């Protein structure tokens, strides 16, 4: 029998669009830790400082009232995190669009705010797995590892899984990483991060500069990975995904009609310093992406070949 959930009713002064607000937390359409519906609900399972928990959010289109339910040892922690998760701590004052595309995106999504989950490892592990591989490959690998080594999510959501605990990530054998198409460099970085989980999680309660320093001090974590974490866990409105295969090209195309590299992206976004990630995300929400050409890359395998 499923226990009764803890509940919370939270109202914002702005419209809350759950799919736009939390879409970046879902790692592919088959992410076993997240469920999104077109009816205005989002369900997430996570490992919190108080233990595993499931958070179920309901907010109807065009409304600002969020109904939250939570199950598990981490239920109370998750309910308390709802305003920050939905961007209530973000301050867009001082943000001024300097390009028509940015102004149009801001008009379309004036209520979007930078989220802050407060869960560093929850954002860090999938970001590491996504390093230098296709999204298809990364999502499949993360999905396989969570389903095999994660924790069934508490609550009435069959098949929903929470990711492994830090000790769970550290205990995954090398061959299981390879079966999930995660090479040794990335798996070692995850295991190393799990060993410093406590120190990394403290990054949610220190300055952004210190949190970035702790992330970047971890071998295998560079600018891109730290930014991916800061965008989700730390509520950083300025962390751009430099080093991403698509971001610089897409933003360059949206703002100038021509794709640019990271150096060109830095120049384009300099007028937005302090809000550079806000620009990246608003353009993404507005669908401002350059036309894609060519066939998709086939997923690679990191399994050792058998002797012939």
pLDDT in tens, 60-93: 988 999 999 999 999 999 999 999 999 999 999 9
Name the average pLDDT for the chain: 93
The pLDDT of residue 293 is 66
Integer Cα distance of 265 and 268 in angstroms: 5
Residue whose C-alpha is closest to residue 119's, from 78, 150, 75, 87: 78
Integer Cα distance of 109 and 20 in angstroms: 9
Checking if the pLDDT of 55 tops 70, the result is yes
Query: Strand pairing partners for 152?
Result: 161
Q: Is the whole model's pTM more than 0.75, yes or no? A: yes
Q: Do the Cβ atoms of 153 and 52 come closer than 8 Å?
A: yes
Q: Do the Cβ atoms of 88 and 24 come closer than 8 Å?
A: no
The pLDDT of residue 301 is 46
Integer Cα distance of 182 and 229 in angstroms: 19
The pLDDT of residue 308 is 29
Which helix (H) or strand (E) segment is 143 a member of? helix 135-149
Checking if the pLDDT of 306 tops 80, the result is no
Q: Tell me whether residue 179 is exposed, middle or buried, using C-beta atoms within 10 angstroms of its C-beta: 0 to 12, 13 to 18, 19 or more.
A: middle
Contacts 24+ apart (CB under 8 A), 267-274: 269/240, 271/98, 272/95, 272/98, 272/102, 273/238, 274/94, 274/95, 274/237, 274/238
| Backbone phi, psi, residue 17, to 5° | -110, 100
SS3 category, 192: helix
Give pLDDT tens digits for 105-146: 999 999 999 999 999 999 999 999 999 898 889 999 999 999
| Backbone phi, psi, residue 194, to 5° | -60, -35
Distances (CA, A) of 293 to 70, 245, 256, 289: 43, 14, 19, 12
Distances (CA, A) of 197 to 54, 146, 174: 20, 18, 20
Integer Cα distance of 146 and 31 in angstroms: 9
- Other beta carbons within 10 Å of 134: 15
């Amino acid at each position: 029998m499923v226990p009764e959930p803890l509940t919370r009713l939270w109202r914002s002064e702005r419209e809350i669009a759950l799919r736009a607000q939390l879409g970046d937390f879902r790692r592919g359409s088959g992410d076993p830790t997240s469920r999104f519906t077109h009816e205005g609900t989002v369900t997430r399972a996570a490992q919190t400082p108080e233990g595993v928990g499931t958070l179920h959010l309901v907010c109807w289109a065009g409304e600002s009232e969020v109904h939250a339910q939570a199950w598990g040892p981490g239920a109370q922690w998750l309910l308390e995190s709802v305003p920050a998760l939905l961007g209530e701590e973000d301050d867009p004052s001082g943000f001024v669009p300097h390009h028509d595309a940015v102004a149009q995106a801001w008009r379309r999504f004036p209520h979007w705010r930078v989220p802050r989950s407060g869960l560093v490892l929850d954002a860090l592990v999938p970001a590491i797995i996504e390093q230098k591989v296709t999204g298809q490959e990364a999502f499949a690998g993360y999905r396989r590892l969570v389903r095999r080594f994660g924790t069934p999510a508490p609550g009435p959501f069959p098949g929903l899984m929470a990711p492994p605990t830090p000790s769970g990530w550290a205990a995954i054998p090398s061959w299981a990483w390879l079966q999930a198409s995660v090479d040794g460099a990335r798996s070692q970085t995850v295991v190393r991060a799990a060993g410093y989980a406590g120190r990394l999680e403290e990054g949610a309660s220190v300055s952004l500069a210190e949190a970035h320093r702790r992330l970047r001090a971890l071998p295998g974590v560079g600018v891109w990975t730290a930014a991916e974490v800061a965008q989700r866990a730390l509520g950083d409105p300025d962390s751009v995904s430099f080093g991403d295969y698509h971001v610089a090209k897409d933003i360059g195309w949206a703002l100038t009609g021509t794709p640019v590299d990271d150096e060109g992206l830095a120049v384009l976004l300099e007028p937005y310093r302090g809000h550079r990630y806000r620009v990246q995300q608003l353009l993404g929400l507005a669908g401002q992406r350059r036309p894609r050409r060519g066939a998709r890359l086939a997923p690679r395998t990191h399994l050792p070949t058998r002797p012939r």
